[in-house]
Amino acid sequence: QQPVQSPQAVILREGEDAVINCSSSKALYSVHWYRQKHGEAPVFLMILLKGGEQKGHEKISASFNEKKQQSSLYLTASQLSYSGTYFCGTEWGDYKLSFGAGTTVTVRA
């Protein structure tokens, strides 16, 4: 079952912050976050596991609320390079990812 992502799109000026949310109707084992630029493959940003473990890039932060089955990705002090489509992928312990519809982020100078 596909997780629900919001917002669908966001436009930022450099230096502004944004939050992207991902929610699931099923209990989650892990949440993955990816960014995809046009014409390229998705690039791993972060994984958050049930129990609190997480791994990701230094400049990206995210949270995982196990009880609410939700995750949020925080884009802080955005840069032009942050532009792209962000996908959350949810996993329920079987290693298969189900992806949200994506959030298009546009950062303008």
The strand pair at 54-56 and 103-108 is best described as unpaired
Nearer to other proteins, 94 or 109 (CB): 94
What is the smallest separation between the CB atom of 93 and other proteins, expressed in angstroms? 12
**Minimum CB separation from other proteins for residue 16, in Å?**
25
- Longest CA pairwise span in the chain (Å): 42
Q: Which two tokens stand for residue 69?
A: 């089955």
Q: Which stretch binds other proteins (CB under 8 A): 11-19, 67-75, 76-84, 99-107?
A: 99-107
Q: How far is the CB of 109 from other proteins (least distance, A)?
A: 25
- Please answer whether residues 46 and 26 qualify as being in contact, where contact means their C-beta atoms are separated by less than 8 angstroms: no
Q: Is 95 in the site for other proteins (CB under 8 A)?
A: yes
Query: How many other C-beta atoms can be found within 10 angstroms of the C-beta atom of residue 82?
Result: 19
Residue 32 interacts with other proteins (CB under 8 A)?
yes
